[in-house]
Amino acid sequence: MRRFKPSAAASIGLYSAGGLALILVIGIWGATLDVRRTRRAVLITEMESLRMRAQRTVRLIERETQRADTSITLDHSQWLNGLSVLPQIDEPRLLYTAVVDTNGQIVVHTDPSLTDQHLSERWYQRVMDDIGDNVVEVAPSDFSLSQRAYDVQVPIMLAGETIGNYHEGLSVQWFDEQFAQRRAELFWHWAIVIGSILLLVVAGGSMIYYLASGRLALQKKLNLIRLHRAAELGQIAGGLAHEIRNPLHALRLNFQALAKTYGSARLTSDEVDLILEQSNSEIDRVNRLLTELLGYACPEAGKLERFDLRNEVSATLEFVQPELKQNLINVCYQAPSTSVPVRMDRSRLRQLLLNLLMNAQEACPDGGEVDLEIEVAKEEAVVRVRDCGAGISEEDAERIFEPFYSTHEKGSGLGLPLVQRFVQDAGGDVDYQPNQPQGAVFTVRLPLASKPALNGHT
């Protein structure tokens, strides 16, 4: 079964969707962070304004306290209840103003019902050091009555000692209502930015999609042209073989008759025998070339069979071993100890193995070692043939699977293309890599028989 590879258009769609999602996430995160930072900056400004107001009030209280009897402290007197300098709430942002002594007793408060009460040990919800010094968020049960407040306090000093603290509370509800409009403006700004970016991404993705679709259409058209050319090649090869085989057959018969009836001649019998032998050899060569041409141009449908790859490789190696030994080729064969089931045509497998081994032999004219190994990797059966020859140049390596392209003087240029076709018809692939330090490595990958077969065969 061939691996599924998504089309370029599908890949572009997936990447575009992922990019859009990432932009949305980053945009929302950026907008939220911007709102938080802006809110903090605005709140700092409001609290600084409130602190300046509180400091002015404290200076007035301190001057009035200095004019009073300094022996009277806030702990023993209620004289501050009538302070004329304590401001009234005349702004919607202010929730309260108050004076608290050092023992936590409320001496003066804009709400008279809270006067003389003591603050709880934790009268605030949290300290807001990032907003300013002595700024806390007040619990609703204390200063702010039924509402939350951001409280700022300024110490009241008398003769170098702190005799109490002056408090002013900013209404959280008022602040949130005022900031809501600013927040809406920020989100709208971010929406415009994110929308513009998304629009650019969609436009760019659409353009790339249409370009990829156009390229895919051109590729399909090119494949159709190649199929038509292959069909024409098949017709030409079939006609060529039919026209040439008959003369070759007649020529063979004539040579055989010549060998029997040749009488007195200028040539010796040995010379006649040599001519006849060479002629027959060339005829066999032409016939073999035509057979290979027909096999490539008009291949018969391979019969898919399930078998153990190890057995077929061993049988093929045993068949060709005498010729390899005669040419001083030593084959180092390695295979797994367990069965390696594959599904393809047995004869095709043996033919492609013979082609690869013969190529390895031709690459080592002075003899040498050839490695033949089988392994199982990622639900695939892998067959590798390594030789120690001169290797293949980079220019030739790009064309070795092209029909009729050969690096050997007497090669037909159809051996490796047939190997590639047989392997691809079985749902696998074949490739070439240079061997190290020298030579070539041909790797054949076939799906294991446990996987679904090509074209629905089982």
- DSSP symbols for 340-382: -EEEE-HHHHHHHHHHHHHHHHHH-TT-EEEEEEEEEETTEEE
Q: In what order do the strands lie in the sheet with 329-334?
A: 329-334, 368-377, 380-386, 440-447, 429-434
Name the phi and psi angles at 59, rounded to 5.
-65, -40
Round to whole Å and give the CA distance between 432 and 430. Answer: 7
**Closest of 432, 402, 417, 286 to residue 351, by C-alpha:** 417
Q: DSSP string spanning 227-283?
A: HHHHHHHHHHHHHHHHHHHHHHHHHHHHHHHHHHH--S-SS-HHHHHHHHHHHHHHH
The model's pTM is: 0.41
Cα angle at 345 between 391 and 319, to 5 degrees? 60
pLDDT band at 385 (very low <50, low <70, confident <90, very high): very high
**CB atoms inside a 10 Å sphere around CB 436:** 9
pLDDT band at 443 (very low <50, low <70, confident <90, very high): very high
Instruction: Give the pLDDT of residue 290.
Output: 65
Are 331 and 321 contacting, i.e. CB atoms less than 8 angstroms apart?
yes
Q: Which residues make Cβ contacts (< 8 Å) with residue 267, sequence separation at least 6?
A: 275
Helix (H, G, I), strand (E, B) or coil at 440: strand
pLDDT band at 374 (very low <50, low <70, confident <90, very high): very high
The pLDDT tens digits of the residues spanning 95-110 come to: 888 888 888 888 888 8
Instruction: Give the pLDDT of residue 217.
Output: 84
Are 162 and 155 contacting, i.e. CB atoms less than 8 angstroms apart?
yes
**CB atoms inside a 10 Å sphere around CB 59:** 14
**Closest of 296, 300, 306, 299 to residue 447, by C-alpha:** 306
**Closest of 432, 435, 438, 434 to residue 417, by C-alpha:** 432
Q: What share of the chain is helix, strand, coil (3-state, %, to 5)?
A: 50, 20, 30
Instruction: Give the pLDDT of residue 456.
Output: 40
Instruction: Give the pLDDT of residue 189.
Output: 83
The pLDDT tens digits of the residues spanning 143-192 come to: 656 778 888 989 988 777 887 888 888 888 888 888 888 888 888 888 88
- Enter the tokens of residue 225: 């042209």
